Amino acid sequence: MSGLLEGRSAVVTGAAQGIGLAIATALAEHGARVTLADLDGDKAAAAAAGIGPQARGVACDVTSEDSVAELIAGAAAAYDGLDVLVNNAGITRDASLRKMTLADFQAVVTVHLQGTWLALRAASEVMREQKRGSIVNISSMSGKVGNPGQTNYSAAKAGIVGMTKAAAKELAHHGVRVNAIQPGLIRTPMTEAMSAEAYAATEATIPMRRAGEPAEIANVVAFLASDLSSYMTGSVLEVSGGRGM
Strand boundaries in 81-190, DSSP class E: 84-87, 133-138, 176-183
Does residue 189 bind ligand NAD (CB under 6 A)?
A: yes
Does residue 135 bind ligand NAD (CB under 6 A)?
A: no
Please, how many CA atoms are within 13 Å of residue 148, restricted to the half-sphere of its CB? 4
Among 17, 130, 202, 219, binds ligand NAD (CB under 6 A): 17
Among 31, 41, 63, 107, binds ligand NAD (CB under 6 A): 63
Q: Is 53 left (phi over 0), alpha (psi -120 to 50) or beta?
A: alpha
Question: Has 153 been annotated as catalytic?
Answer: yes
Does residue 12 bind ligand NAD (CB under 6 A)?
A: no
Among 57, 90, 133, 244, binds ligand NAD (CB under 6 A): 90
Among 18, 57, 133, 241, binds ligand NAD (CB under 6 A): 18
Does residue 72 bind ligand NAD (CB under 6 A)?
A: no
Using the rule CB under 6 A, give the single segment among 99-107, 119-127, 182-190, 199-207 that binds ligand NAD: 182-190
Classify residue 212 by its DSSP letter.
B
Distance CA 108, CA 130 (A): 32
Checking 40-48 for CB contacts under 8 A at 24+ apart, the result is: 40/16, 43/16, 43/17, 44/15, 44/16, 46/16, 47/15, 47/16, 47/17, 47/21, 48/24
* Choice between 109 and 190, CB closer to ligand NAD: 190
Please, how many CA atoms are within 13 Å of residue 193, restricted to the half-sphere of its CB? 7
Does residue 218 bind ligand NAD (CB under 6 A)?
A: no
* Choice between 64 and 130, CB closer to ligand NAD: 64
Among 48, 71, 89, 119, binds ligand NAD (CB under 6 A): 89
Using the rule CB under 6 A, give the single segment among 59-67, 120-128, 165-173, 225-233 that binds ligand NAD: 59-67
Catalytic residue, from 79, 153, 199, 231: name it.
153
* Choice between 93 and 174, CB closer to ligand NAD: 93
Does residue 40 bind ligand NAD (CB under 6 A)?
A: yes
| Residue 195: Cβ within 10 Å count | 8
Q: Starting from the edge strand earliest in sequence, which strands make up the sheet with 9-13, in order?
A: 55-59, 33-38, 9-13, 84-87, 133-138, 176-183, 236-239
In Å, the largest CA–CA distance within the chain is: 51
Does residue 39 bind ligand NAD (CB under 6 A)?
A: yes
| Residue 131: Cβ within 10 Å count | 10
Residues in contact with ligand NAD by the rule CB under 6 A: 13-14, 16-20, 38-40, 60-63, 88-91, 111, 115, 138, 140, 183, 185-186, 188-191
Which sequence positions are flagged as catalytic?
153
